[in-house]
Amino acid sequence: MSATAQLEARFQQIASIDAASGILHWDAATMLPASSTDARGDQLAALAEVSHEKLTDPAMAEWFAAAQSEPLEDWRRANLNEMHWRWSHATSVPQTLVSALTKLRLKSEHQWRSAKETSDYAGFLPIFREVIALTREVAYAKAAALGLSPYDALLDSYDRGLRRATIDPIFTQTKTWLPDFVGEVITHQAAQPTQPLNANVPVATQEALGRAMMLALGFDTTRGRIDTSAHPFCGGAPGDVRITTRYREDRFTDALYGVLHETGHALYEQGLPEAWRGLPIGEARGMSMHESQSLFIEMQVSRSLPFLKFLLPQLTKTFGLSGPAWNEANVYRNLTRVERSHIRVNADEVTYPLHVIWRYELEQALLDGSLEAADLPAAWAEKTQAYLGITPPDHAHGCLQDIHWPEGMFGYFPTYTLGAMTAAQLMAACRRALPQLDAELARGDFAPMLHWLRTHVHQKASSATGEEILRAATGEALNPDHFEAHLRARYLA
Amino acid sequence: MSATAQLEARFQQIASIDAASGILHWDAATMLPASSTDARGDQLAALAEVSHEKLTDPAMAEWFAAAQSEPLEDWRRANLNEMHWRWSHATSVPQTLVSALTKLRLKSEHQWRSAKETSDYAGFLPIFREVIALTREVAYAKAAALGLSPYDALLDSYDRGLRRATIDPIFTQTKTWLPDFVGEVITHQAAQPTQPLNANVPVATQEALGRAMMLALGFDTTRGRIDTSAHPFCGGAPGDVRITTRYREDRFTDALYGVLHETGHALYEQGLPEAWRGLPIGEARGMSMHESQSLFIEMQVSRSLPFLKFLLPQLTKTFGLSGPAWNEANVYRNLTRVERSHIRVNADEVTYPLHVIWRYELEQALLDGSLEAADLPAAWAEKTQAYLGITPPDHAHGCLQDIHWPEGMFGYFPTYTLGAMTAAQLMAACRRALPQLDAELARGDFAPMLHWLRTHVHQKASSATGEEILRAATGEALNPDHFEAHLRARYLA
């Protein structure tokens, strides 16, 4: 076996172990008996340890050295490069630090949950300081090994090639217009009275509609499934994609748009090339691109007027609804409602980037030490006031709301907004390629759109960088003007 | 860390990996999308490989050598002995042979499924010969390493300490009376006209009753669950025990007694000592003891008249049944019906041991070469005629019916009947200890019985041999007279 073939076999083995973990994570969120969480923790820890052992095995360095001189087809060369990138990240952090952070993360998540419940930032502060300190150590270790700045090294671990130098100008430009734009939209919407969508819809009915929508969009239920969990997610394993949503009888849009969002992620996963399964080149291209696919479906497609023409008749029929609130214009106004609100995960697509930008700024300051953890609430309130004109009533609605920092995930937040911007840019290109797109969406014919995504995004997997894929699909690098144009067209037209 | 502590940590890691596989096997039978089977196969193969690697790691030999001289508490000494036994089995077979058999097994199982469908023994024969040849190699390798005869080495791998020398006299004695007894019972039952239990019971109603029964018996749903699969089983992981059944609206007893049987297995698993979780000493004591627990609940308890007094009112109430068929005597006659039939898994408890005995005799002959695989159908027909007075109409009802041999599982069959006999002996002892047992069963008070099982079987886990546990619980080694007495009392009284 060539060194490259040995590396490929090893990465396929690691992928299978990680896929097993993916299913166990799904099971933990959907099926696990209440008192079996410790047993599950042991299982997941054992698999994570074995996976990491396999990736950092001393033999890998020799294989990588030998593989450099082996003649390879282009895709295998590209895959070798991806394998090397992952290995570099994994070996850049000393094992003792990895273990320490893993253990600390568990404790921290646990403490964060109770602290959030009681909005007790002071109580969370001691362990939060430890998390920041260890994350900083990880960032410096990665930075030294990869020749990047510490924050760039963290960005790179979620989205290969992502750098502050790319994000800074985009977020700076966004800050010049978005805060005012929010005000304009709110004023604009205030002039259009909207009747709320009051309906009590049984869970089984909501399930049926959600399933109909995901099937219409192209979700393959022979290679995936949908279930219920406390928070919607797309997980499972390659070749076995599992999405979830949650149901409230008095707010069916939560479940429905949860399904639509996760269906976007799932279509990406299900569209990755089968031939490359288990190899890094065959995986999704980072977090920004993944989020672009969920937001393409949830925001670009499913909150559009054409899609509503397809959805509304099924909605009113399945749910047995009628009355003045259920006319197209009013439902559309409900689906595109903009509000200044505190909780990021419930934010609309207009205000969402502001939530992300202040996190982006604050997490860098926390990491480089220019912001003390103790001063975070004050800094948070300052940013929310400056960007969104609101001040959180308590920490649970402020800096304690997200699980990311308590878990040591710094450098992840920007990918949400880069994903939203990528989605807008992809939709603009898709629209150019498919002149009949609106008519197709209105009659529920999603095949041409899905084919376009498959060809230009899904089938590329990780065979090129995110920027290369976006350039090939749209003719340019990430350009936030498409996102701005989308918001102006949808919210001020 | 002492060598013993290192071994313990390693075995706990292996246990966690194997527990992960247990959940993935459960998922494959209950949740897996139709086209995700290949992905699951890769995941399970990767985990099996890693688990085996960890167990056969060269460091283990050194740890075992060093552990011998370490001062240990009794339970740790016993656990060390169990760890060594597992390691001896795992290292006794060369890795190349393990891999070859694993691959062959997959192919063989696949071919067996189609061969069974068309009753095509000739088509299955070539691969079956390969399976026998490789299994023989495994048996010889184990025999050489463990100082046992080849067949004993296989028996030992399913049930530590089980030997032909124990089984032969028991099965020989059984053959002296059971074939005639079957005839007597059938004649006896023919004189008692039985009305069939015709009822169409919706699946949801059957589920509700099954759940009520398993809860009544003591199944802990905070550490386990019940779902549906093609064939009932008890699986999952320590601390997360998952049982299944399957439903036919026109035959509710299938699902109900499936639940009861698997609940017996589950009570054993849930009753193992928490403190020893992940260590070999904390696992169930072999296949015969496991089967004794399922048959204790299904056969000894749930087909008894006292239990029927508890079950029947709930059955008729939940199912809304009435009419002459639903009187206690007639339902009891249905639950204890004896027939000469071809399919082992559907056989009643009276004829079942005969199915096992001819398999026990035939598998030894196949393994030692005194029976050619080509001659199996003829030998099968001869045995079924001699022991049960029937001749299979085709191979699907004969030697192709079971998955065990196609999977290379030789030495497993006897544990079913040893389990039935152990169950009868345990019940006799339990009855001596609990003079009010029948009254308790009749009112659905299973706590005293479960406490007895917990104390004398479940909590012992693998801290002693099966024979030691049975002796301590009942005062004697396995004695088939209890089983005979049970059958005579139940079927000819």
Please tell me the distance from the alpha carbon of residue A463 to that of residue A160, in angstroms, as a whole number. 12
Q: Of the candidates B318, B226, B319, B310, which has an alpha carbon nearest to the alpha carbon of residue B26?
A: B226
Nearest CA-CA distance, residue A18 and chain B, Å: 8
Residue B261 and residue B294 in contact, taking contact as beta carbons nearer than 8 Å: yes
Contact A43 B20 (CB under 8 A): yes
Contact B225 A17 (CB under 8 A): no
Best mutation target among B12, B13, B17 (most A Cβ atoms within 10 Å) is B17
Query: Closest to A46 (Cβ–Cβ): which among B17, B33, B44?
Result: B17
Nearest CA-CA distance, residue A221 and chain B, Å: 7
Q: Of the candidates A231, A221, A222, which has an alpha carbon nearest to the alpha carbon of residue A261?
A: A231
Q: Say which range, A171-180, A444-453, B98-107, B214-223, has the weakest mean pLDDT.
A: B98-107
Please tell me the distance from the alpha carbon of residue A380 to that of residue A392, in angstroms, as a whole number. 9
Contact B222 A34 (CB under 8 A): yes
B207: annotated active-site residue: no
- The structure tokens listed for B224 are 């386990």
Length of chain A: 493
Whole-number mean pLDDT of chain A?
Answer: 97
Please tell me the distance from the alpha carbon of residue B272 to that of residue B293, in angstroms, as a whole number. 13
- The structure tokens listed for A315 are 């909605």
Judge whether A218 is closer than 8 Å to chain B, CB to CB.
Answer: no
Specify the pairing of strand B240-245 against strand B234-237: antiparallel
Classify residue B101: in a domain, yes or no. no
Judge whether A55 is closer than 8 Å to chain B, CB to CB.
Answer: no
Chosen domain end from A52, A71, A90: A71
Q: Of the candidates B250, B270, B256, which has an alpha carbon nearest to the alpha carbon of residue B303?
A: B256
The values of phi and psi at residue B225, to 5°, are -155, 170
The values of phi and psi at residue A228, to 5°, are -110, 140
Classify residue A337: in a domain, yes or no. yes
Shared-domain flag, residues B162 and B201: yes
Shared-domain flag, residues A312 and A457: yes
**Number of structural domains chain A divides into:** 2
Residue pLDDT, tens place only, A259-289: 999 999 999 999 999 999 999 999 999 999 9
Nearest CA in chain A to B30: A31
- Say whether A356 sits in a helix, a strand or coil: helix
Best mutation target among A43, A227, A241 (most B Cβ atoms within 10 Å) is A43
Residues on chain B touching A221 (C-beta within 8 angstroms): 33
- The structure tokens listed for B95 are 């890795």
Please enumerate in sequence order all residues whose Cβ is within 8 A of that of A280, keeping only pairs 6 or more positions apart, or say none: A11, A79, A82, A83, A85, A86, A462
Shared-domain flag, residues B71 and B28: yes
Judge whether A30 is closer than 8 Å to chain B, CB to CB.
Answer: no
Q: Of all helices (H) and strands (E), which one includes residue B235?
A: strand B234-237
Provide the whole-model pTM: 0.96
Helices (H) and strands (E) in chain A, counts: 20, 3
pLDDT of A321 reads 87
Query: Closest to B43 (Cβ–Cβ): which among A19, A44, A225?
Result: A19
Shared-domain flag, residues A66 and A168: no
Please tell me the distance from the alpha carbon of residue B139 to that of residue A296, in angstroms, as a whole number. 59
Best mutation target among B11, B240, B243 (most A Cβ atoms within 10 Å) is B240
Judge whether B282 is closer than 8 Å to chain A, CB to CB.
Answer: no
Residues on chain B touching A8 (C-beta within 8 angstroms): none
Burial class (CB in 10 A: 0-12, 13-18, 19+), A148: middle
- The structure tokens listed for A462 are 């990780």
Classify residue B115: in a domain, yes or no. no
Please tell me the distance from the alpha carbon of residue A53 to that of residue A51, in angstroms, as a whole number. 5
Q: What angle in degrees, to the nearest 10, is found between the helix axes of B74-92 and B37-56?
A: 120
Judge whether A210 is closer than 8 Å to chain B, CB to CB.
Answer: no
Query: Closest to A223 (Cβ–Cβ): which among B16, B20, B36?
Result: B36
- Say whether B294 sits in a helix, a strand or coil: helix
Residues on chain B touching A222 (C-beta within 8 angstroms): 33-36
Shared-domain flag, residues B82 and B214: no
Residues on chain B touching A27 (C-beta within 8 angstroms): 23, 27
Shared-domain flag, residues B330 and B193: yes
Shared-domain flag, residues A285 and A397: yes
Nearest CA-CA distance, residue A357 and chain B, Å: 39
Classify residue B452: in a domain, yes or no. yes
Length of chain B: 493
Residue A474 and residue A425 in contact, taking contact as beta carbons nearer than 8 Å: yes
pLDDT of B393 reads 97
* Structural domain span for residue A30: 1-71
pLDDT of A416 reads 98
Query: Closest to A239 (Cβ–Cβ): which among B38, B50, B224?
Result: B38
Q: What is the CATH number of the domain that holds A394?
A: 1.10.1370.30
Shared-domain flag, residues A351 and A451: yes
- The structure tokens listed for A381 are 């309130």
Residues on chain B touching A21 (C-beta within 8 angstroms): 20
Residue pLDDT, tens place only, A182-227: 999 999 999 999 999 988 999 999 999 999 999 999 999 999 999 9
Chosen domain end from A19, A39, A71: A71
Q: Of the candidates B292, B278, B294, which has an alpha carbon nearest to the alpha carbon of residue B245?
A: B294
Residues on chain A touching B44 (C-beta within 8 angstroms): 20
Nearest CA-CA distance, residue B143 and chain A, Å: 32
- The structure tokens listed for B446 are 């299973």
Positions of A marked catalytic: 262
Judge whether B211 is closer than 8 Å to chain A, CB to CB.
Answer: no
Classify residue A180: in a domain, yes or no. yes
Spell A62-87 as b/e; 16+ CB within 10 A means b.
ebbeebeeeeeeeebebbbebbbbbb
- The structure tokens listed for B253 are 């007893």
Please tell me the distance from the alpha carbon of residue B365 to that of residue B371, in angstroms, as a whole number. 5
Please tell me the distance from the alpha carbon of residue B289 to that of residue B422, in angstroms, as a whole number. 7
Best mutation target among B12, B23, B49, B269 (most A Cβ atoms within 10 Å) is B23
Please enumerate in sequence order all residues whose Cβ is within 8 A of that of A237, keeping only pairs 6 or more positions apart, or say none: A19, A20, A22, A23, B36, B39, B43
Shared-domain flag, residues A55 and A198: no
Shared-domain flag, residues B75 and B137: no
Residue pLDDT, tens place only, B426-443: 999 999 999 999 999 999
Judge whether A204 is closer than 8 Å to chain B, CB to CB.
Answer: no
Residue B77 and residue B10 in contact, taking contact as beta carbons nearer than 8 Å: no
Classify residue A137: in a domain, yes or no. no
Task: Print pLDDT tens along chain B (493 aa).
Answer: 999 999 999 999 999 999 999 999 999 999 999 999 999 999 999 999 999 999 999 999 999 999 999 999 999 999 999 999 999 999 999 999 999 999 999 899 999 999 999 999 999 999 999 999 999 999 999 999 999 999 999 999 999 999 999 999 999 999 999 999 999 999 999 999 999 998 899 999 999 999 999 999 999 999 999 999 999 999 999 999 999 999 999 999 999 999 999 999 999 999 999 999 999 999 999 999 999 999 999 999 999 999 999 999 999 998 888 888 999 999 999 999 999 999 999 999 999 999 999 999 999 999 999 999 999 999 999 999 999 999 999 999 999 999 999 999 999 999 999 999 999 999 999 999 999 999 999 999 999 999 999 999 999 999 999 999 999 999 999 999 999 999 999 999 8
Best mutation target among B8, B16, B222 (most A Cβ atoms within 10 Å) is B16
Shared-domain flag, residues A32 and A173: no
Q: Of all helices (H) and strands (E), which one includes residue B298?
A: none
Query: Closest to B16 (Cβ–Cβ): which among A36, A42, A277?
Result: A42
Nearest CA-CA distance, residue B129 and chain A, Å: 31
Angle at B333 between CA B329 and CA B338, to 5 degrees: 165
Residues on chain B touching A19 (C-beta within 8 angstroms): 39, 42-43
Shared-domain flag, residues B353 and B205: yes
Judge whether B32 is closer than 8 Å to chain A, CB to CB.
Answer: yes
Nearest CA-CA distance, residue A119 and chain B, Å: 30
Contact A240 B40 (CB under 8 A): yes
Contact B19 A38 (CB under 8 A): no
Residues on chain B touching A220 (C-beta within 8 angstroms): 35
Query: Closest to A222 (Cβ–Cβ): which among B35, B47, B221?
Result: B35
pLDDT of B450 reads 98
Judge whether B204 is closer than 8 Å to chain A, CB to CB.
Answer: no
Residue pLDDT, tens place only, B160-197: 999 999 999 999 999 999 999 999 999 999 999 999 99
- Segment A480-489 mean pLDDT: 98
Classify residue A331: in a domain, yes or no. yes
pLDDT of B321 reads 87
- Segment A424-438 mean pLDDT: 98
pLDDT of B162 reads 97
pLDDT of A322 reads 86
Classify residue B359: in a domain, yes or no. yes
Chosen domain end from A47, A71, A95: A71
